[in-house]
Amino acid sequence: MIAPSVLAADFGHLEREVQLVDRSEAAWVHVDVMDGRFVPNISFGFPVLRAVRRATTKPLDVHLMIVEPERYVARFAHDGADWVTFHLEATEDPLHCIHLIRESGAKVGVSIKPKTDVEALRPILDKVDMVLIMSVEPGFGGQKFIPESLDRIRALRAMADVVNQDLLIEVDGGISSENAHLLFEAGANVLVAGSSVFKAEDPEAEIHAMLEAR
């Protein structure tokens, strides 16, 4: 699956940009929320999420790069998130966070930054629907893919084979049709792509090319 990230879209024409994804072969729309504390950048919040929600019927995959995610997960689900992903590094109590997301009716994702050991996920791996492996430092679009991420995906897939065979692995940062095949080969199920899609001359063709890489 491909999940284009609206962070790289033209916000002056957000509806048009989201509709472009809606028409395409992409499975989900990825929505990056940044609070200026967990990451050194601020993106957008609830009103923009609601505008994205109105522009597509595809599932919204909300990636929370915010501290104390437990304070807000239910509100993101209420405002249109089908998937709510929080950062393991951002909370003292991941189990509580998972519980709150489940209670809200959304699917549960947990994300780790490039320097966090995948082993840190082991205690909660059977309790989540998805793990999002960051393949760049979170906070900004348009960065270069970190090649070591491939080994991290393989290690996570091996762990999941034992405790949670249905686990989806999503990867985010520096992904395009150039490296998509490496990620699918390593065991990823969902690829997030911001700049490669929205800055492409033909975004739908770029999405198609990434899927062809499987």
By CB under 6 A, tell whether 192 contacts ligand DX5.
Answer: yes
When binding is defined by CB under 6 A, the residue of 1, 5, 38, 129 that contacts ligand DX5 is: 5
Which one of the spans 90-98, 133-141, 177-185, 205-213 is the region binding ligand DX5 (CB under 6 A)?
A: 133-141
Q: Give the Cα separation of 201 and 204 in Å (integer).
A: 9
Angle between helices 14-23 and 203-212 (to 10 degrees): 40
Q: Examine residue 141 and tell whether it contacts ligand DX5 (CB under 6 A).
A: yes
Is 32 an active-site residue? yes
> How many Cβ atoms sit within 10 Å of the Cβ of residue 182?
17
Query: Considering CB distances under 5 to 8 angstroms, the limit depending on partner class, which of Zn ion, ligand DX5, none binds residue 142?
Result: ligand DX5
Which part of the chain contacts Zn ion (CB under 5 A), choosing from 40-48, 121-129, 171-179, 182-190? 171-179
Interface with ligand DX5 (CB under 6 A): 5, 7-8, 30, 32, 63, 136, 138-139, 141-143, 172-175, 192-196
